[in-house]
Amino acid sequence: MGFGYGLFSSGYFLLVFIPTILLSIGSQILVATAFSRWTRVRNTAGLTGVQVAERIIRNAGLQGVSLEGTPGERTDHFDPSKNVVRMSQEVATTPSVAAMAVVAHELGHAQQYAERSLLIQMRSFLVPAMQFSPMVSYALIMAGLLFNSLGMIQVGIIFYGVVVLFMVLTLPVEFDASRRGLKLLREVGLMQSSEDQGGARAVLTAAALTYVAAAVTSLLNLLYYISLLSGRRND
């Protein structure tokens, strides 16, 4: 008995929806667990996120980077349009291993932009397309299924391919930012103990898994859409 080729068929729920939900929940649990543990562990230097950022900026030639606060939890990010690292209150004011790791990661992104990293340029090139590609792809695929138009499904899949490419390119960008962040911490003498080193890696590894889950989700969706196209051709 087949699963059917509808967009929300039993095949979609078994092969895409359920696995991606499990991936998302699993990665979020790992992130929450890592942050919860290492937020309670004080970094050896006793520096808050803001102080860590200021030390790295002074020593890494990133003087043009400014610091701002941002509401919420785990909302820390680097804004390349304004060259600013925004930190949640917990990260900005807590002298923890987790705060140190998060700040270093975001400054790793700042360094990528400052050095015009090829990876960051490639991903940035796709950012404008990401503003419309997801909705256009879903609309075309659904319309193609509704009107039995293989051409519309094909174009929808092409648009969704942009989403997948962006998600896949995000992985090396994030891994590189974490690598740079750990290096920046070592260079300014903030990896002083095994807890500093192990905790920072644990936090950044857990955070990276969320991007892995997102990339796998996009790939599973793409493969399913391609299977829809193949199924319609064989009908």
Calpha distance 117→30 (Å, rounded)? 29
Q: What is the DSSP letter of 205?
A: H
Calpha distance 104→184 (Å, rounded)? 7
Secondary structure percentages of the chain, helix, strand, coil, to 5: 70, 5, 20
Q: Residue 213 is encoded by which pair of tokens?
A: 């889950």
Question: Which among 106, 115, 187, 195 is annotated as catalytic?
Answer: 106
- Strand, helix or coil for residue 66: strand
Q: In 18-96, where does DSSP find H-type helix? A: 18-39, 49-59, 89-93
For tokens 């590189």, the residue is 176
Q: Is the dihedral of CA 37, 42, 48, 49 positive or negative?
A: negative
For tokens 């804004």, the residue is 79
CB 163 within 8 A of CB 218: yes
Maximum Cα–Cα distance across the chain:
66
Instruction: Tell me if residue 106 is catalytic.
Output: yes
CB 97 within 8 A of CB 199: yes
Calpha distance 6→153 (Å, rounded)? 12
Q: Annotated catalytic sites, by residue?
A: 106
